[in-house]
Amino acid sequence: MNAARPGKRGAEPLLHREQPPADLLIRAAHVLDPRGDLDAPHDVLVRGGVIAEIGAPGSLDAPEGAEVLEGEGRHLFPGFVDPHVHLRVPGQEHKEDLDSGTRAAAAGGFVAVVAMPNTDPVVDDASVLRSLREAARREARIPVGFLAAITRGLAGDALTEMAELSDTGALGFTDDGKPVHRAAILRKALQYQRLCGGVLALHEEDPSLSGAGAMHEGEVSARLGLAGIPSISESTMIARDAAIAGYEQGRIHIQHLSARESVEAIAEAKARGVQISGEASPHHLCLTHEAIRERLDTRLKMNPPLRAESDRQALIEGLRDGTIDCIATDHAPHAREEKEVPFEEAPMGTTGLETSFAAIYTELVVPGVLPLGLVVERLSAGAALMGLATPRIAVGETAALCLLDLAAEWQVGEAGYESRSENCCFAGHMLRGRVLATVAAGSVVYRERAFALTAA
Amino acid sequence: MRHLLSIEDLDRPGIERILDRAKSFTEVSEREVKKVPALRGRRVLNLFYEASTRTRSSFELAAKTLSAEVINFVSSGSSVEKGESLKDTVQTLSAYRPDLIVVRTPYVGAAELVARWSPAAVINAGDGKHEHPTQALLDVHTLRERLGALDGLSIWIVGDVLHSRVARSNIQAFTMLGAKVTVCGPPTLIPRGVEALGCDVRYTLDGLDEADVVYALRMQKERMTESFVPSLREYAARYQIDGRRLGARQVLMHPGPVNRGVELAAEVIDSPQALIGQQVAAGVVVRMAVLYELLAGRTAPDRQLVTA
The C-alpha angle A23, A25, A29, rounded to 5 degrees, equals 140
* C-beta atoms of A342 and B165 within 8 A: no
* C-alpha A47, offset from chain centre: 28
Q: Which residue of A has its CA nearest to B193?
A: A219
Rounded to whole angstroms, the maximal C-alpha distance in chain B is 62
Mean pLDDT within A274-278: 98
If you measure CA to CA, which chain A residue comes closest to B197? A223
At residue A145, φ and ψ (nearest 5 deg) are -115, 165
In a shared domain, residues B67 and B177 = no
Print the SS3 string covering chain A. Answer: CCCCCCCCCCCCCCECCCCCCCCEEEEEEEEEECCCCEEEEEEEEEECCEEEEEECCCCCCCCCCCEEEECECCEEEECEEEEEECCCCCCCCCCCCHHHHHHHHHHCCEEEEEECCCCCCCCCCHHHHHHHHHHHHHHCCCCEEEEECCEHHHCCCCECCHHHHHHHCCCEEECCCCCCCCHHHHHHHHHHHHHHCCEEEECCCCHHHHCCCCEECCHHHHHHCCCEECCHHHHHHHHHHHHHHHHHCCEEEEEEECCHHHHHHHHHHHHCCCEEEEEECHHHHHCCCHHHHHCCCHHHCCCCCCCCHHHHHHHHHHHHHCCCCEECCCECCCCHHHHCCCHHHCCCCCECCCCHHHHHHHHHHCCCCCCHHHHHHHCCCHHHHCCCCCCCCCCCCECCEEEEEEEEEEECCCCCCCCCCCCECCCCCEEEEEEEEEEECCEEEEECHHHHHHHC
Q: Are both B92 and B30 inside the same structural domain? A: yes
Domain CATH for B31: 3.40.50.1370
Kindly state whether residue B233 falls inside one of the protein's structural domains.
yes
Q: Do residue B181 and residue B93 come from a single domain?
A: no
The pLDDT of residue A450 is: 79
Does the pLDDT of residue B47 top 80, yes or no?
yes
On the question of pLDDT at A6 being above 60, the answer is no
> Do B119 and B152 lie in a common domain?
no
| Rounded distance between C-alpha atoms, residue B15 and residue B6, angstroms | 12
- Asked whether residue B1 is domain-assigned, the answer is no
Question: Which of A208, A210, A216, A224 is the best mutation test for B, with the most CBs of B within 10 A?
Answer: A224
Measured distance CA(B247)–CA(A179) in Å, rounded: 52
Residues of A catalogued as catalytic: 330
Let me know whether B148 and B174 are in one domain. yes
Contact B168 A230 (CB under 8 A): no
Residues of chain B contacting A222 with CB distance shorter than 8 Å:
191-194, 196-197
Find residues 148-207 of chain A whose CB sits inside 8 Å of chain B.
Answer: none
- Looking at the fold, whether B137 and B276 belong to one and the same domain comes out as yes
Residues B174 and B90 in one domain: no
| Closest approach of B125 to chain A, Cα-based (Å) | 15
Residue B73: pLDDT above 70?
Answer: yes
- Structure confidence by residue, pLDDT tens digits, A227-248: 999 999 999 999 999 999 999 9
The answer on B191 and B88 residing in a single domain is no
pLDDT tier at B302, thresholds 50, 70, 90: low
For residues B52 and B283, what is the distance between their CA atoms, to the nearest angstrom?
Answer: 13
Are B268 and B293 found together in one domain?
A: no
How crowded is the C-beta side of B87, counted as CA atoms within 13 Å?
11
Chain B residues lying within 8 Å of A345, measured CB to CB: 80, 107
> Which tops the pLDDT comparison, A36 or A418?
A418
Instruction: Residue window 288-307, chain A: list those with CB within 8 Å of chain B.
Output: 296
- Which of B87, B105, B130 lies at the smallest CB-CB distance from A225? B130
Domains of chain A, residue spans: 24-76+397-455, 79-385
Q: Do the beta carbons of residue B45 and residue B18 sit within 8 Å?
A: no
Given this model, what pLDDT does residue A9 score?
55
In a domain, B48, yes or no: yes
CB pairs under 8 A between A and B: 65
Q: A344 at the B interface (CB within 8 A)?
A: yes
Q: Does B44 share its domain with B79? A: yes
pLDDT higher than threshold 90 for residue A5: no
Which positions in chain B touch A342 (Cβ < 8 Å)?
86, 105, 107-110, 113, 128
Q: Is B90 among the domain residues? A: yes
> Nearest Cβ partner of A225 from B85, B112, B165?
B165
Nearest to A343 among B80, B108, B192 (CB): B108
Alpha carbon of B165: minimum distance to chain A alpha carbons (Å): 7
What mean pLDDT is predicted for residues A87-116? 98
CB < 8 Å to A217, chain B = 192-193
* CB B199, CB B171: distance < 8 Å: yes
pLDDT of residue A454: 65
Whether the per-residue pLDDT at A322 is higher than 50: the answer is yes
Judge whether A340 is closer than 8 Å to chain B, CB to CB: yes
Q: What is the mean pLDDT of residues A157-161?
A: 97
Tell me the shortest Cα–Cα distance from B64 to chain A, in angstroms. Answer: 30
A64: contact with B, CB 8 A cutoff? no
Residues B75 and B155 both lie in one domain:
no
Listing DSSP states for chain B in one string gives ---B-SGGG--HHHHHHHHHHHHHHHHHHTSSS----TTTT-EEEEEESS--SHHHHHHHHHHHHTT-EEEEEE--TTHHHHS--HHHHHHHHHTT--SEEEEEESSTTHHHHHHHH-SSEEEEEEETTS--HHHHHHHHHHHHHHHS--TT-EEEEES--TT-HHHHHHHHHHHHTT-EEEEES-GGGS-TTGGGGS-EEESSSTTGGG-SEEEEPP--THHHHTTSSS-HHHHHHHH-B-TTTS-TT-EEE--S---BTTTB-HHHHTSTTB-HHHHHHHHHHHHHHHHHHHHTT-PPPP-HHHH-
Say yes or no for a CB contact (<8 Å) between B107 and A219.
Answer: no
Q: Is residue B97 part of a domain?
A: yes
Tell me, which fold does domain A79-385 have in CATH?
A: TIM Barrel (3.20.20)
Out of B105, B129, B193, whose CB is closest to A342? B105
- Is B162 contained in some domain? yes
Q: Above pLDDT 90, what percent of chain B?
A: 83
Residues of A in contact with B192 (CB under 8 A): 217-218, 221-222, 228, 230
CB atoms under 10 Å from CB of A209, counted, come to 17
Residue pair A23/A67 in contact by the 8 Å Cβ criterion: yes
- The stretch B175-192 carries a mean pLDDT of 97
Q: Total structural domains in chain B?
A: 2
Mean pLDDT estimate for chain B? 92
What is the average per-residue pLDDT within A110-126? 98
Q: Is A343 close to B85, i.e. CB distance below 8 A? A: no
Shortest Cα–Cα distance, B208 to chain A (Å): 23
- The overall average pLDDT reported for chain A is 96
Q: What is the pLDDT of residues B98-112, one digit of tens each?
A: 999 999 999 999 999
Interface contact B86-A341, CB threshold 8 A: yes
Residues B34 and B114 in one domain: yes
The confidence score (pLDDT) of residue B83 equals 72
> Which residue of B84, B107, B166 is the best one to mutate when testing the A interface, meaning the one whose CB has the most A CBs within 10 A?
B107
Reply yes or no on whether the pLDDT at A421 is more than 50.
Answer: yes
**Under CATH, which architecture does the A24-76+397-455 domain have?**
Roll (2.30)
> What are the residues whose beta carbons fall under 8 Å from the beta carbon of A293, sequence distance 6 or more?
A220, A223, A224
Q: Are A47 and A67 in contact (CB under 8 A)?
A: no
**Is A217–B193 a contact, with Cβ atoms under 8 angstroms apart?**
yes
CB contact under 8 A, B87 and A343: no
Cβ within 8 Å, pair A222-B105: no
Q: What percent of chain A has pLDDT over 70?
A: 97
- Distances in whole angstroms, Cα of residue B236 to Cα of each of A400, A428, B158, B269: 68, 50, 12, 15
- Write out residues 220-279 of A within 8 Å (CB-CB) of B: 220-228, 230
Residue A211: predicted pLDDT: 95
Task: State the Cα–Cα distance between residues A419 and A430, nearest whole angstrom.
Answer: 19
Distance from CA of B111 to the nearest CA of A (A): 9
Contact B192 A226 (CB under 8 A): no
Q: Per-residue pLDDT for B224 more than 50?
A: yes
> Residue B193 and residue A220: Cβ atoms within 8 Å?
yes
A350-383 confidence digits (pLDDT tens): 999 999 999 999 999 999 999 999 999 999 999 9
Averaged pLDDT, A285-310: 97
By CA distance, what is B128's nearest residue in A? A225
The C-alpha angle B55, B57, B59, rounded to 5 degrees, equals 65
**Residue of chain A whose Cα is closest to the Cα of B162:** A225
Contact A224 B108 (CB under 8 A): yes
By the 10 Å C-beta count (0-12 exposed, 13-18 middle, 19+ buried), B78 is classed as exposed
If pLDDT is split at 50, 70 and 90, which confidence band does B80 have?
Answer: low
pLDDT digits (tens, 9 = 90+) for B228-273: 999 999 999 999 999 999 999 999 999 999 999 999 999 999 999 9
Domain that holds residue B208: 133-280
The nearest alpha carbon in chain B to A219 belongs to B193
| pLDDT bucket at B200, cuts 50 / 70 / 90 | very high
